[in-house]
Structure 1
Amino acid sequence: MKKLSLTLCLLSALFASSTRAETALLKPFGPGSYQTLLRQQHNHPLMLVLWSLTCSSCMKEMRMLKTIGDNHPGLSIVLVSVDDSGDAEQVRKVLKNNQLEEMNNWLFTEANSAQLRYQIDPTWYGELPRTYFYDSAHDRSGISGVLSKQDYERFIGQIMQ
């Protein structure tokens, strides 16, 4: 009886941990989240990627982001979906399909996405994909549009110095 109980406990713990691993944690990105995110990454190089389910170019870059993360373990990569919070399950599915569940993932929560975009960058008007590269002092470069693997490597090399 004790063996059966122990086995059931172990199986339930294993099932619970595998379920969590399969579901990407999406932090709510609302007013003030950008400043929180930067404080969490204080004195660390950071790559902030803004993307959307409706952005075909973003979808093409997802697999490359996994490779970049694997190749640069010292780089914090933060992914922010600018989609509506009602799209959370679909966002999680895209992250899972591209093996990005373990990254620092956020999802816009405000109906007023322009306000959130402005908090990130007053000069950004919503074009996607949008990637920001921050060095350890959090000086940043923002790039709109698709980046090649070589572009990513060049910018990452600059911020990791």
Structure 2
Amino acid sequence: MKTLGLALALAVAMPSFAAPPVPLNTTDVDALVAKPAKGTRIIALWALDCAYCEQNLKALADWQRKHADVDLVFVATDPMSQSVTLEARLKAAHVDTVPSRAYAESTPDRINFLIDPAWGGETPRTMVIKSDGTRRALSGALTTARISKLLD
């Protein structure tokens, strides 16, 4: 029993290590934006030079913790060559447990268009895809009320 208690205490005390962002290529976008089999997928597009992005990532991660049917993924519009910096930013914001992607091609505008043809590339951008195929997207800072409205 003491061994189990010690193992549990160590597991809680050990820091969790998240994987670095996974490369996102144009060939990966169809799967990213495909309608989920059930529930809702939220794609949070962000960038290192974005003033409101960290706030949005935190708000969305908090929302997801309370809504188990939401599949959340962060997509950095910065290149994979910045993966160490991207990972550090997510860790500092305490949102590094959310699956993360980063652009892996030299044509970011092409990836932007494939993700959302109506998107001009501004960040933060939040896209919601529901299992019935409906999509909504919103640019700008998020509040709990804006998240709720986006998911309605």
Per the shorter chain, which TM-score range?
0.7 to 0.9
Tell me if structure 1 keeps the 8 A contact 2:54–2:93.
no
> CA 1:143–1:39 in 2, change beyond 3 Å: closer, same or farther?
closer
* Partner in structure 1 of residue 46 of structure 2: 51
Match of 2:80 among 67, 85, 91: 85
Alignment partner, residue 136 of structure 1: 131
Contact persistence 1:133–1:141 (CA under 8 A): yes
Structure 2 counterparts to residues 43-122 of structure 1, below 5 A: 43-122=38-117
Of 59-68 and 34-43, more deviation after overlay is shown by 34-43
TM-score, normalised with respect to structure 1: 0.78
Q: 1:119 to 1:95 in 2, by over 3 A?
A: same
**Highest Rg: 1 or 2?**
1
CA distance in 1, matches of 2:20, 2:74: 11
Unpaired runs of 5+ residues, structure 1, are 1-13
* SS across alignment from 1:107: strand
1:42 Cα offset (Å): 3.1
Aligned-partner SS, 1:124: coil
Q: Distance in 1 between matches of 2:119 and 2:144?
A: 23
- Alignment partners' CA distance in 2, 1:120 and 1:113: 11
Partner of 1:111, secondary structure, is coil
What is the CA deviation profile of residues 32-66 of structure 1, one whole-angstrom value per residue up to 9, with x for unaligned ones?
A: 21112244833331111100010011123232222
RMSD of aligned residue pairs (Cα, Å): 2.2
Q: TM-score, normalised by structure 2?
A: 0.82
Assess if the C-alpha contact under 8 Å between 2:23 and 2:101 holds in 1: yes
1:125 matched residue in structure 2: 120
